[in-house]
Amino acid sequence: MSIWITPFTLEEINQRGKGTLSEHLQITFIEKGEDFLTASMPVTAQICQPMGILHGGALCALAETVGSAAGNYCIDQREKFCVGLDINANHLRPVHSGIIYAIAKPFHLGSTTQVWEIKMHSGNPHTLVSIARLTTAVRCLGTIRSKHKS
Report, as residue numbers or ranges, the catalytic residues: 64
Indicate the Cα dihedral angle 137, 142, 147, 150, nearest 10°.
170
The C-alpha atoms of residue 53 and residue 150 are separated, in whole angstroms, by: 45
Phi and psi torsions of 103, nearest 5°:
-115, 120
Q: Which of 110, 12, 98, 115 is nearest to 63 (CA)?
A: 115
